[in-house]
Amino acid sequence: MANQGNDIRITLIGAGTIGLSFATFHLSHLSSPSQLTILDTRPDLEEYVRSTLPRFLPDAPISHINLSSSLPDAVRNASIIQESGPENLSFKKSVWGEVEKYAPKDALLWSSTSGIPASQQAADMEDKTRLLVVHPYNPPHIMPLLELVPSSQTSAGVLTRTQEFWRARGRVPILLKKEMTGFVANRLAFALLRESIHLVNEGVVSVEELDRIVETSMGPRWTIAGPFKSYHAGGGVGGLEGFFRNIGGTVQECWDDAGKLNVGEGWEESIFQQAKDQYGVVDLEERDRITKRVLDVVKEEKNRE
Amino acid sequence: MANQGNDIRITLIGAGTIGLSFATFHLSHLSSPSQLTILDTRPDLEEYVRSTLPRFLPDAPISHINLSSSLPDAVRNASIIQESGPENLSFKKSVWGEVEKYAPKDALLWSSTSGIPASQQAADMEDKTRLLVVHPYNPPHIMPLLELVPSSQTSAGVLTRTQEFWRARGRVPILLKKEMTGFVANRLAFALLRESIHLVNEGVVSVEELDRIVETSMGPRWTIAGPFKSYHAGGGVGGLEGFFRNIGGTVQECWDDAGKLNVGEGWEESIFQQAKDQYGVVDLEERDRITKRVLDVVKEEKNRE
């Protein structure tokens, strides 16, 4: 299949948190760490990667990864170029302009952006067919989801090769058929966050109580079956239709008086403070370790069928 | 501690899905199945429990559970009376009126309702201090969450005894400080569902793709850390405040054009059909088995700390 085997060469542009998390993922799937190049213009790149990458991957074979500060060198032999740089349109446009000059003609070009459309990023490119957004759910070395958001010019072949790459590595690439601000995952999470802010602001529960409610109900439920599947099951033999027949009235009532607070409307101070008092600095290692075990359990169980 | 030991006697009113799921939970925590009574007026109660309870609990000791169709008999010695009957105010008012006549004065009275306030249910009772809503997340023999929703008359002592009962059994009772339609968990889930309907209706993703997005991102994330904790972590050293400083603009943009479809506005047909075609009849046994393993893993990992 495409993109597999010893000839694949991946170049990551940007050695921030997302870039190094992707590096971790790719290192677990490449035959040799020499197939990976990390491009970043920070002067202390090697020292920085040496001190930071082991947080994601304790035994990272750092001396075998190519570290580069020269874009032409870094992309010249790449089959995949994955950009996780600053969220800044002019940066991205200039990167892709350079990449186009030096990279092989059939290299796949992926941006991790959470908000700058591929069409805008590719505006100055001659060949706009190879670029698309491959938006991870952080951190990508743990979370299976990739939202694929092409421009209208991205070619079908590029989409297929991209999907195959991720599927072959046990990931879940979902192709969005339309571009929306925030894509899908963030839009959904932000909708729930808005209602969360409303309920805490109304004094129904605290920040910590709201989190515990989600952790002990929807979190685990939606890990096994997303919202539609869950409510389809909840409707019994009538399915999702039966669910709405039974309690559509209550659903509508909740929608009617749902939270409509906006950013900057005065709810912030108390909620930010509660989060700070309650959580301090979150232990990401613990979070990621447990998340990985949960995902492994689900995979194992679903593969039993 | 209160409510523990051999002298506790639980009477369940209503042998529907929620009632039998609670029966399953209680049977795993009582010293003897003879401490459990199930009250239901259906004429085939024994046959029905014999055929249905094993779906939740394969080796259910059915012959040792008290099955009753007489409310006075069923509640006479109960220390806890938990109602999971029809969602119908007059039914509930009449049940509590009868319970009050025959039950011990210090029995705890819990309703599993998802929508009828304790204050309304207790309207005709002489002693309104003992009744509160204990709303499970279905199915309660698997899911840890219980939303406790008292009326203004529920006594502090009753709340404490109720919280202690569930905590001692590894459950997560969360006391809501205000009553809202749908309580907290359903309100949050319905907010995300509304945006889900919007995105499918806009043709961005299918029902099945949306579910897979949630299953591979927010589901596992929120199983470990609820939305506030997650975004507090996402803001780095700046916490939740830093998160909003960084991407509050995008959050607000997503809120500004969030889905506002209502029940009955024409999106139903295609979405119901997709759910039916995709999922048919959902395998609840599989769902519950995987959910239980996920919850066990999280518990084990969190207890390591």
Q: Does residue B54 have a pLDDT over 50?
A: yes
CA-nearest residue to A171 within chain B is B216
- With an 8 Å Cβ cutoff, are A199 and B180 in contact? yes
* Distance, CA of B69 to CA of B78 (rounded, Å): 15
Q: Which residue, chain included where needed, has tokens 């369940």?
A: B12
- By Cβ distance, the residue of B188, B194, B223 closest to A255 is B194
A209 lies in which domain range? 185-304
Q: For chain A, how many structural domains are there in total?
A: 2
CA-nearest residue to B250 within chain A is A182
CATH number of the domain residue A106 falls in: 3.40.50.720
pLDDT tens profile A183-236 = 999 999 999 999 999 999 999 999 999 999 999 999 999 999 999 999 999 999
Q: Which residue, chain included where needed, has tokens 């048919």?
A: B280
Query: Mean of the pLDDT values across residues A150-155?
Result: 96
- With an 8 Å Cβ cutoff, are B187 and A203 in contact? no
CATH number of the domain residue B214 falls in: 1.10.1040.10
- The answer to whether residue A272 is domain-embedded is yes
- With an 8 Å Cβ cutoff, are A193 and B251 in contact? yes
Mark whether A164 and A194 lie in a shared domain.
Answer: no
pLDDT tier for residue B303 given thresholds of 50, 70 and 90: confident
Q: Does residue A152 have a pLDDT over 90?
A: yes
Q: Does A192 touch chain B (CB under 8 A)?
A: yes
Q: What mean pLDDT is reported for chain B? A: 95
- The answer to whether residue B4 is domain-embedded is no
The residue count of chain B comes to 305
Query: Mean of the pLDDT values across residues B207-227?
Result: 98
Query: Mean of the pLDDT values across residues B230-234?
Result: 97
Which of A146, A175, A204 terminates a domain? The answer is A175
Q: Which of A251, A180, A246 has the alpha carbon at shortest distance from B191?
A: A251
- With an 8 Å Cβ cutoff, are A212 and B228 in contact? no
Which of B147, B175, B203 terminates a domain? The answer is B175
Cα-based torsion angle of the residue sequence B97, B103, B109, B113 in order, rounded to the nearest 10 degrees: -50
Q: Which of A43, A26, A44 has the alpha carbon at shortest distance from A35?
A: A26
Hey, is B171 helix, strand or coil? coil
Q: Does residue B116 have a pLDDT over 80?
A: yes
* Distance, CA of A18 to CA of A21 (rounded, Å): 5
* Distance, CA of B158 to CA of B119 (rounded, Å): 15
- With an 8 Å Cβ cutoff, are B188 and A289 in contact? no
Extract the runs of DSSP E, i.e. beta strands, from A137-227: 145-150, 172-175
Q: Does B210 touch chain A (CB under 8 A)?
A: yes
- With an 8 Å Cβ cutoff, are A217 and B185 in contact? yes
- With an 8 Å Cβ cutoff, are B217 and A185 in contact? yes
Q: What is the pLDDT of residue A1?
A: 39
Mark whether A147 and A195 lie in a shared domain.
Answer: no
| Helix B207-215 vs helix A185-201: crossing angle, to nearest 10 | 70
CB proximity under 8 Å: B 222-281 to A: 222-229, 231-234, 237, 239-241, 244, 247-255, 257-259, 262-264, 268, 271-272, 274-276, 278-279, 281
Q: What is the pLDDT of residue A302?
A: 87
Mark whether B126 and B189 lie in a shared domain.
Answer: no
- The answer to whether residue A297 is domain-embedded is yes
pLDDT tens profile B160-192 = 999 999 999 999 999 999 989 999 999 999 999
Mark whether B148 and B250 lie in a shared domain.
Answer: no
Contact A280, A206 (CB under 8 A): no
* Distance, CA of A10 to CA of A78 (rounded, Å): 6
- By Cβ distance, the residue of A143, A178, A282 closest to B204 is A178
Mark whether B162 and B225 lie in a shared domain.
Answer: no
Q: Which residues of chain A does B253 touch, with a Cβ-Cβ cutoff of 8 Å?
A: 181-182
Q: Within 13 Å, how many C-alpha atoms sit on residue B192's CB side?
A: 30
* Distance, CA of A158 to CA of A246 (rounded, Å): 45
- With an 8 Å Cβ cutoff, are A192 and B191 in contact? yes
Q: What is the pLDDT of residue A304?
A: 80
ipTM for the complex shown: 0.96
Mark whether A160 and A196 lie in a shared domain.
Answer: no
Q: Does residue B124 have a pLDDT over 90?
A: yes
Q: Does A282 touch chain B (CB under 8 A)?
A: yes
The residue count of chain A comes to 305
Q: What is the pLDDT of residue A2?
A: 42
Q: Which of A172, A180, A279 has the alpha carbon at shortest distance from A223?
A: A172
- The answer to whether residue B113 is domain-embedded is yes
Do β-strands A131-136 and A145-150 pair in parallel, antiparallel, or remain unpaired?
antiparallel
Mark whether B26 and B70 lie in a shared domain.
Answer: yes
Q: Which residue, chain included where needed, has tokens 């929807």?
A: A218
Q: What is the pLDDT of residue A305?
A: 65
- In the numeric block, which tokens belong to residue B201? 């209706």
- The answer to whether residue A36 is domain-embedded is yes
**Consecutive H or E run containing A201:** helix A185-201
- The answer to whether residue B75 is domain-embedded is yes
pLDDT tens profile B63-93 = 999 999 999 999 999 999 999 999 999 999 9
CA distance A265 to chain B (A): 11
CA distance A183 to chain B (A): 9
Mark whether A29 and A62 lie in a shared domain.
Answer: yes
Q: Positive or negative, the Cα torsion across B104, B89, B87, B160?
A: negative
CA-nearest residue to A258 within chain B is B191
Mark whether B16 and B146 lie in a shared domain.
Answer: yes
- Contacts from B278-281 at CB under 8 Å and sequence distance 24+? B278/A229, B278/B206, B278/B207, B278/B208, B279/A228, B279/A229, B279/A232, B279/A233, B279/A239, B281/A237
- With an 8 Å Cβ cutoff, are A275 and B240 in contact? yes
Q: Which residue, chain included where needed, has tokens 């607000």?
A: B252
- In the numeric block, which tokens belong to residue B185? 């968990």
Which of B175, B193, B208 terminates a domain? The answer is B175
- In the numeric block, which tokens belong to residue A30? 């490449």
pLDDT tens profile B149-168 = 999 999 999 999 999 999 99
Q: What is the pLDDT of residue A198?
A: 98
- With an 8 Å Cβ cutoff, are B217 and A145 in contact? yes
Q: What is the pLDDT of residue B5?
A: 56
Mark whether A97 and A118 lie in a shared domain.
Answer: yes
Q: What is the pLDDT of residue B3?
A: 44
Q: Within 13 Å, how many C-alpha atoms sit on residue B121's CB side?
A: 34
Q: Which residues of chain B does A18 touch, with a Cβ-Cβ cutoff of 8 Å?
A: none
Q: Does residue B4 have a pLDDT over 60?
A: no
pLDDT tens profile B242-299 = 999 999 999 999 999 999 999 999 999 999 999 999 999 999 999 999 999 999 999 9
Q: Which residues of chain B does A252 touch, with a Cβ-Cβ cutoff of 8 Å?
A: 262-263
CB neighbourhood size of A205 (10 A): 22
Q: What is the pLDDT of residue A3?
A: 44
CB proximity under 8 Å: B 116-175 to A: 137-138, 143-145, 147, 172, 174-175
Q: What is the pLDDT of residue A303?
A: 85
* Distance, CA of A235 to CA of A248 (rounded, Å): 11
CA-nearest residue to B181 within chain A is A254
- By Cβ distance, the residue of B190, B208, B287 closest to A233 is B287
Q: Which residues of chain A does B207 touch, with a Cβ-Cβ cutoff of 8 Å?
A: 228
Q: What is the pLDDT of residue A5?
A: 57
Q: Which residue, chain included where needed, has tokens 């919202």?
A: A227
Q: Which residues of chain B does A241 touch, with a Cβ-Cβ cutoff of 8 Å?
A: 268, 272, 275-276
CA B1-B143-A222 angle, 5° bins = 150
* Distance, CA of A283 to CA of B120 (rounded, Å): 44
Cα-based torsion angle of the residue sequence B21, B24, B26, B31 in order, rounded to the nearest 10 degrees: 170
CA-nearest residue to A146 within chain B is B213
- The answer to whether residue B5 is domain-embedded is no
- The answer to whether residue A2 is domain-embedded is no
Mark whether A98 and A127 lie in a shared domain.
Answer: yes
Mark whether A67 and A171 lie in a shared domain.
Answer: yes
Contact B184, A204 (CB under 8 A): yes
* Distance, CA of B27 to CA of B21 (rounded, Å): 10
Q: Which residue, chain included where needed, has tokens 């001190």?
A: A51
